[in-house]
Chain A
Amino acid sequence: MSQAFVPVRCRRARPALFLAPAASLLLLFFLAPIVIDVGIAFTNMGESLKVTAWTLKNFDRILGADRMIPLILLTTFLYVTATLFFFNVGLGVVLAITTTAVSDRLGALFRGIWILPRMSPAVIYALLWIWVVDSSPQGLLNQVVTGIFGLAPLNLRNDHPLLVIILANGFVGASFAMVVLTSTIRSIPEHLFHAARVDGASEWSVLRFVVLPSLKGPVWFITIYQALSLLVTFEYILLITNGGPVYDSTTYALYVYRRAFEGGHYAYGAALAIALMLFGVCFTLLQWRLFGDGMNRTRPRIEVL
């Protein structure tokens, strides 16, 4: 009799035990910083790290007083959409399709080359870009422009900083979609290609009717995932243009960083970060709404009692 009750106790205890490691990490590195950030946002913490008053001034500043905000938002929008459309999704799709169409060995070689920038340290990658677009005649691009075409040297970092950060991030970003979509294309059953050919489809029609439809799901996932990651990361921008000249290539996340750590306005930076976080949460909820959260949830493979 008494033994019959033992499993009931186990049933309650074990899920908590299973979740404990992940939950504690989540608490320590995700939830605690959010709470602290929200706390700081309502203070007047400055360079001295001293808090003397609770205030709503930081939010006033975001919503009106800060003249930089509209420019920063426009820059961020242009940067994210252009990088996403042309590189992180567009180039990724093209690379996945072309590298799976050629022989396996050649395809693997090209994919290897495209993954290199992701593998190399950000500082080295950024330094290479700085050299490529350097305004002196010794810059790689200027050697081509002046040496081969005989034109005046370009100063892209000064004249078109947004273009430079889009290119630099795009060349790294394309490899993510390339890897994901390559495996998607590989997992299309061979019989479907055979069937399409027997049905009379040309190479182009096979691409349109067999390959592209299968990419739809993964492309949506990549779009949302990469949009969020482009919104919050700024290390290449920081290293290549430092957001400049002035604020011309400063995206929202970098603006948060510059306000907080360059200007020493920690409280204002914290308030700006809350807005970014809210946007991210809304975006994720929208994604759930559109595609259901089923894509992130499957039945467990084992049953925990």
Chain B
Amino acid sequence: MAQIAFEQVSKSWGETEVLRPMDLSIANGECVAILGPSGCGKSTTLFLLAGLYAPTSGKVLFDGHVVNGVDARDRNVGIVFQSYALYPHMTVRANIGFPLRFQKVDKDDLSRRVVEAANLVQIDEFLDRKPAELSGGQQQRVALARALVKQPNILLLDEPLSNLDATLRMSMRAEIRAIQRRLGMTTLIVTHDQIEAMTMADRIICMSRGAVAQIGTPDELYRRPADTFVAGFIGSPPITLLEGDAKGETLHIGTGAMTLTASTAGRITLGLRPEDLRLGAPGQGGLPARVVTVEPLGREVLYGVETAIGRLHVLAMAGDAVPPAGEPAAVQIDAAHSLLFDAGGRRIPNLNIRP
């Protein structure tokens, strides 16, 4: 169990800065997801924590102690790699027991702990197989058992579910979270999948181009994104972002206009989530619109509608009465959930559009 902190930690490879100076604080027992598109520096952050990379500048602290000079093997962290990185020539038993070889653990204790770890992730029946004889999901469990067997202070998961099929991913998500809660380990999950991050983590660190875009709870990131990047990255189907010009309390977008709750000026971006819009028949009030595309998603249907302020996406329940494609319709906006961003892309707090 450990509390983790980054103080202005950065990482460069030669001239290329892959991680800009970063501050971070993770509480003991917390489960945090690092979320971002590929190449944003999230894996680098994980490897800096593990001690596999040395920071170019700044301090990495475990429980308040600087661990910059501490080798990976002395940090007592467990990692599950994206590729699982199981030792191909060793049996599952030897793979799981490998970290204990280097600790002063006697033989009986070692085999007992291997079986315990295998039981925890339900792969005890495969102990004498080689990794190549296991399915992807089973290999993933072995990798998890190997990371857990030495009772690490910190558990790091690098894209742990990305190589699994959709059904398995859902069950593993819950299972990993349950194990993490039970053992109370400080856990970091690196992922590019927002659902994974939102369902598994207490807090999410959203990263973009080597820098932290926002740190917050899943709900904070969804409802109060710091900028247009976070707003666009979180939420599925994605938010619609419309650029316009504000003059006083009027926001001109395309050929239409919206009224703001306070006066402002300059380039303003309006963000509307598909689930905060409602599609109805014309004459019921709201923005006049025309249905252009219809995408059934099973329980819900995603509509693309053309309005004066631009193309909007509307999420409706499958059974809802909605005008068919090509017909005129009207869009009602849940104004309280509208998001407004300034010219630099930062969200403007306490500003909404009027209903």
State A183–B72 Cα separation when bound (angstroms).
26
Contacts of B79 in A (CB 8 A): 194-195, 198
Most buried by A among B71, B85, B89, B98: B85
Q: Is B134 among interface residues, defined by CB-CB distance under 8 A?
A: no
State A300–B81 Cα separation when bound (angstroms).
33
Q: Is A197 among interface residues, defined by CB-CB distance under 8 A?
A: yes
Q: Is A38 among interface residues, defined by CB-CB distance under 8 A?
A: no
Chain B nearest CB: distance from A125 CB in Å?
Answer: 38
Q: Is A138 among interface residues, defined by CB-CB distance under 8 A?
A: no
Is A195 a contact partner of B85 (Cβ separation < 8 A)? yes
Q: Is B102 among interface residues, defined by CB-CB distance under 8 A?
A: yes
Contacts of B50 in A (CB 8 A): 194, 198
Identify which of residues 59-76 in chain B touch chain A, using a CB-to-CB cut-off of 8 Å: 71-75
Is B87 a contact partner of A197 (Cβ separation < 8 A)? no
Q: Is A192 among interface residues, defined by CB-CB distance under 8 A?
A: yes
Q: Is B257 among interface residues, defined by CB-CB distance under 8 A?
A: no
Is A200 a contact partner of B103 (Cβ separation < 8 A)? yes
On whether A209 and B78 interact (CB within 8 A), knowing A197-B72, A198-B52, A200-B102, the answer reads: no
Contact of B85 among A189, A200, A213 (CB under 8 A): A189
CB-CB nearest 9 A-B residue pairs = A200-B102, A191-B85, A195-B85, A199-B99, A213-B89, A200-B73, A197-B72, A191-B81, A198-B79
Chain B nearest CB: distance from A37 CB in Å?
Answer: 43
Is A198 a contact partner of B98 (Cβ separation < 8 A)? no
Q: Is B47 among interface residues, defined by CB-CB distance under 8 A?
A: yes
Q: Is B146 among interface residues, defined by CB-CB distance under 8 A?
A: yes
Is B81 a contact partner of A201 (Cβ separation < 8 A)? no
Chain A nearest CB: distance from B162 CB in Å?
Answer: 14
Q: Is B77 among interface residues, defined by CB-CB distance under 8 A?
A: yes
State A210–B88 Cα separation when bound (angstroms).
9
Is B73 a contact partner of A214 (Cβ separation < 8 A)? no
Is A200 a contact partner of B83 (Cβ separation < 8 A)? no
Q: Besides A196-B87, A197-B72, A213-B88, 13 other CB < 8 A contacts?
A: A189-B85, A191-B85, A194-B47, A195-B85, A197-B51, A197-B52, A198-B52, A198-B77, A199-B99, A200-B74, A200-B99, A214-B89, A216-B89
Most buried by A among B75, B90, B102: B102
On whether A201 and B102 interact (CB within 8 A), knowing A192-B87, A195-B81, A210-B87, the answer reads: yes
State A192–B150 Cα separation when bound (angstroms).
18
Contacts of A191 in B (CB 8 A): 81-83, 85
Contacts of A197 in B (CB 8 A): 51-52, 71-73
Is B87 a contact partner of A198 (Cβ separation < 8 A)? no
Identify which of residues 179-237 in chain A touch chain B, using a CB-to-CB cut-off of 8 Å: 189, 191-192, 194-202, 205, 209-210, 213-214, 216
State A205–B98 Cα separation when bound (angstroms).
11
Residue on A with the closest CB to B77?
A198
Is B146 a contact partner of A199 (Cβ separation < 8 A)? yes
Identify which of residues 48-78 in chain A touch chain B, using a CB-to-CB cut-off of 8 Å: none
Contacts of A202 in B (CB 8 A): 73, 102
Contact of B78 among A192, A198, A216 (CB under 8 A): A198
Is B83 a contact partner of A189 (Cβ separation < 8 A)? yes
Mask: chain A, 232-259; 1 = CB below 8 Å from B; 0 = not: 0000000000000000000000000000
Is B87 a contact partner of A209 (Cβ separation < 8 A)? yes
Identify which of residues 130-154 in chain A touch chain B, using a CB-to-CB cut-off of 8 Å: none
State A183–B346 Cα separation when bound (angstroms).
50
Contacts of B99 in A (CB 8 A): 198-200
Chain A nearest CB: distance from B268 CB in Å?
Answer: 45
Most buried by A among B47, B73, B83, B102: B73
State A199–B257 Cα separation when bound (angstroms).
60
Name 5 A/B residue pairs within 8 A (Cβ), A-sorted: A196-B98, A197-B52, A198-B75, A198-B78, A213-B87
Mask: chain B, 32-71; 1 = CB below 8 Å from A; 0 = not: 0000000000000001001110000000000000000001
State A214–B146 Cα separation when bound (angstroms).
20
Most buried by A among B50, B78, B89: B89
Identify which of residues 263-283 in chain A touch chain B, using a CB-to-CB cut-off of 8 Å: none
State A2–B72 Cα separation when bound (angstroms).
72
Contact of A194 among B75, B81, B102, B146 (CB under 8 A): B81
Contacts of A196 in B (CB 8 A): 87, 98
State A205–B90 Cα separation when bound (angstroms).
14
Is B73 a contact partner of A201 (Cβ separation < 8 A)? yes
Contacts of B71 in A (CB 8 A): 197
Contacts of A210 in B (CB 8 A): 87
Contacts of B82 in A (CB 8 A): 191
Contacts of B83 in A (CB 8 A): 189, 191
